[in-house]
Every structure is written in C-alpha cells, then in structure tokens.
Amino acid sequence: MGTFRALILTIAMICGLTACADSKESSPVNQDPVSQNNKPATSAASAVYTGTIVYKTFEGGFFAFISTDNKRYTLRHLPEAYRLDGLVVEITGSVNKDIITTTQFGDLLEVDAVKVLDDRHARPPESGPRKLKSL
C-alpha cells in the first residue's frame, strides 16, 4: 500500500510540475516588466501627487510617501537626490498594483519625476554605514 501512495504522489507531482511549465501566464511578482522607453510598465496612467517623503525603518528601511490627502505609498525608483526624510515634493508617477512588497505601507508608486516644494525639514535618515536604496 505504501508503494501505491508513493506512485500516486509521484504522478501528482509530475502533473503539477508539467502544468507549471506549460503555463502561458507568469507571475508579475517575479518580474520587472519594462516598456519601450525603459520605464517600468505600470497599471495606471501618470498623475501628480503632492505630499511628504518619509523614511521608514521596517524591513531594513525604505522611502515612503504620504500625500496631502493622507494616502500612503511605497516609492519605487526614487532618485537618490530626493531620498530625504521630511522632504515636501510633487511627484509625477503612477500607482502599480501589479507588484507586491513587504512594506505594508499603501500602494506602490512608480516615480517618474520629482519637484521639491519645501526642503526646510528634510534630512537624511539615520541609517548607519550602509547605502539606502529605493525599491
């Protein structure tokens, strides 16, 4: 009876692996799709968002954005020059709901352009010797 179970489990595993290999769909989580102009493909049109860039220490640290209407976003492709906690900016970009992050801080906002509105309270985050990254 044990051999029969092992045979059934082996057949089930082979069928499952074959089904995965033949699948035409792929997971957006494991890919970074790029459009013709080398910008990431996004699920929505670009818009302008006004608010404050904030640094969060969760998961090793990341840069987030809180808009003036109190919506929260995780920033992706934020240029290094704008990686300052407390920087008030206008971001042109689009929300990408096709990518999952571990930040648990709102939707992912793909940054196309940044315009500084107020840098009086901006400061580099306290991070130690490592170099901080944007998603």
- pLDDT tens column, 30-62: 334 444 344 444 446 899 999 999 999 887 889
Domain-embedded: residue 33: no
- Does 96 reside within a domain? yes
pLDDT in tens, 83-131: 999 999 999 999 998 988 888 899 999 999 999 999 999 999 876 545 5
Q: Domain range for residue 74?
A: 47-118
The verdict on residue 70 lying in a domain is yes
The sign of the CA dihedral 23, 13, 32, 107 is positive
What tokens were used for 67? 């808009």
**Sequence-separated (6 or more) residues with CB below 8 Å from residue 110:** 39, 40, 42, 76, 77, 93, 94, 95, 96
For the CA atoms of the chain, what is the radius of gyration?
A: 21
Do 83 and 62 form a contact (C-beta atoms < 8 A)? no
Inform me whether the pLDDT recorded for 132 exceeds 80. no
Asked if the structure places residue 20 within a domain, the reply is no
CA distance 51 to 68: 5
Which CATH number characterizes residue 78's domain? 2.40.50.500
Looking at the whole model, is its pTM more than 0.75?
Answer: no
b/e code 85-118 from CB counts within 10 Å (16+ = b): bebbbebebbbbebbeeebebbbbbbbbebeeee
Residue 127 lies in a domain: no
Q: Is residue 13 part of a domain?
A: no
Domain-embedded: residue 35: no
How many domains does the chain fold into? Answer: 1
**Residue 124 counted as domain residue:** no
**Mean predicted confidence (pLDDT) in 71-94:** 96
